[in-house]
Amino acid sequence: MPQYQLHIAAADATRAEVIADAVEAAFEEAGPVSWYETDGGWAVDGFFFADGAEEIAATARAALAGMAEAAALTVEPVPEDVDWVAKSLEGLKPVVAGRFVVHGAHDRDHIPKDLIGLQIEANQAFGTGHHPTTWGCLTALTDLLAASRFDSVFDLGTGSGVLAIGIALATGRPVLASDIDPLAVEIALENAEINGAAPLVTAVTATGFDHPAIAGRKFDLVVANILADPLKMLAPDFRAHAQPGTAVVLSGILRTQADDVQAAFEAQGFAGERHLVKDEWSTLVLRYAG
């Protein structure tokens, strides 16, 4: 059965992510679906086996019903001698965030020496660096790690492990990470190995702070790139695991949700220090007064 490449142009990163999610959900046996920045905007690429191009185009149009992007999607046959994994990654440019640069294996030899390279492949757990929330967290962490020493760090909802790995490589100190999804934990540990951070990164499967490795511990830095509602719900748990001076970096928050999230944490004794915005997404930095 021949293979085809689906290509869809998008106006921005948020739109590209929505399109990629819709495409993945529409195909029962999805090949790699990636969304990435181009010279003129953003794009989504997918690779699928089918009897013909129109079969893929029809499924994609149905998935994108009501979206303007559906009218301009293209489907082209992939030559048999093409490495589709490499092709799906070639458009993903390295993303610079503070002193970090998130990249794929295809750019490993092109990372500036003054930046910390984080090799995170597309189509894994959340956190390739192309989403504004990952950028916001890494940018915020750059300044926090330059200003203070953190000896007890927790990355809640680690996804691909990109934040935990970045902190470990920047500080040379251990980082505890967790995720509700066992597959994400597995991927985070694999990424830690790939990036030479395996001795420093411990990852466990946990819902919120509910795990023996987390229970009873006080952290001086907690990062959580998840969603606004879980963050608000977990605010008392953040306080329970904080000590005077603990810094928290929160993202996965739409700009319109930022005030509500900050209010939930201020009610627990945290004070806002910084609010980063990129596209429609916010990243908050707060400090626990005790």
Residue 227 has pLDDT above 70, yes or no: yes
Examine the domain organization and report whether 71 and 121 are in the same domain.
Answer: no
With the CA atoms of 96, 100, 103 and 109 taken in that order, what torsion angle do they form, in degrees rounded to the nearest 10?
A: 110
Residue 213 has pLDDT above 70, yes or no: yes
pLDDT in tens, 11-43: 888 888 889 888 888 886 655 677 777 777 888
Residue 276 has pLDDT above 60, yes or no: yes
Tokens of 242: 């904080």
Examine the domain organization and report whether 142 and 228 are in the same domain.
Answer: yes
Residue 90 has pLDDT above 60, yes or no: no
Choose one of 41, 69, 89: the last residue of a domain: 89
pLDDT in tens, 113-163: 888 888 887 544 445 556 788 899 999 999 999 999 999 999 999 988 999
In this structure, are residues 88 and 32 in contact, taking their beta carbons and an 8 Å threshold?
A: yes
Choose one of 89, 104, 131: the last residue of a domain: 89
d(CA 157, CA 195): 19
Q: Assign residue 72 the CATH number of its domain.
A: 3.30.70
d(CA 97, CA 29): 34
- Average pLDDT score over the chain: 87
Tokens of 220: 């001086």
Q: How many domains does the chain have?
A: 2
Examine the domain organization and report whether 238 and 224 are in the same domain.
Answer: yes
Examine the domain organization and report whether 144 and 33 are in the same domain.
Answer: no
Cβ neighbours, 10 Å, residue 66: 5
d(CA 283, CA 277): 6
d(CA 217, CA 152): 9
pLDDT of residue 265: 98
pLDDT of residue 125: 41
